[in-house]
Amino acid sequence: MHDIREGSDGTGLRVGIAVASYNATITDGLLGGAIDAARDAGVADDDIVVVRVPGALEVPLAVAQLARSKSYDAVLALGAVILGETDHYTYVCSETMRGCGEISLETGVPVGFGILTCRTLLQARDRSSTPTKNKGREALVAALAAARTKRALDALHGGTP
C-alpha cells in the first residue's frame, strides 16, 4: 500500500508568485505572508520569483506564463477583489478563479489561490495583515504541499507526470 501525504518542506522547490498591484496595501500583506511561509518551509530566496501585474484579472496570464515555463514546482496567485456597487466584483472573482484552476490542470503545476474575495476592506485587511489569518501564507503552504504530493506521485509512477 502506498499512502502519499503532502509535506511542508520547501527545500529545493522553486516558486513563482503572480501578485496584483491593485489594492496594494492588501496584496503587499499577502505577498509578505507568502514569502515568510516560503522561507519558513526552506525555499531559498533565489528560488522565489515575484511577478507584479496590474490587477486580479491579469493574474491568471502571469500564472500561466510561470506554470508553462516548467521552471517552477508551484505557482501562487495573489490579489484582492473587494465588493463594490456593480457586478464587476462577481465577474472578476469567478474569471480569476476559473483561469487559475484551468492553468493548474493544463500544466500539472500546482497553483495556490490566494486571491481574496471580500465584501469589505476590513475583511481584506484582516486576511492579509494578521499573521495567523494571512491567506497569502495559507495559499503558499497549500501550493508547496501540492508540489510535494505531485513529486511523490511522479516518483511512484516512474517520473511520468
List residues with catalytic annotation.
88
Burial of 46 (C-beta count, 10 Å sphere; 0-12/13-18/19+): exposed
Residue 25 and residue 82 in contact, taking contact as beta carbons nearer than 8 Å? no
Cα angle for residues 131, 35, 49 (degrees, 5° grid): 155
Residue 76 and residue 104 in contact, taking contact as beta carbons nearer than 8 Å? no
The string of DSSP letters for 9-43 reads --TT--EEEEEE-TTHHHHHHHHHHHHHHHHHHT-
What is the rounded CA–CA span in Å between residue 154 and residue 33?
A: 29
| The 74-82 sheet, strands edge to edge | 48-53, 15-20, 74-82, 111-118
Per the structure block, which three cell numbers stand in for 78? 495573489
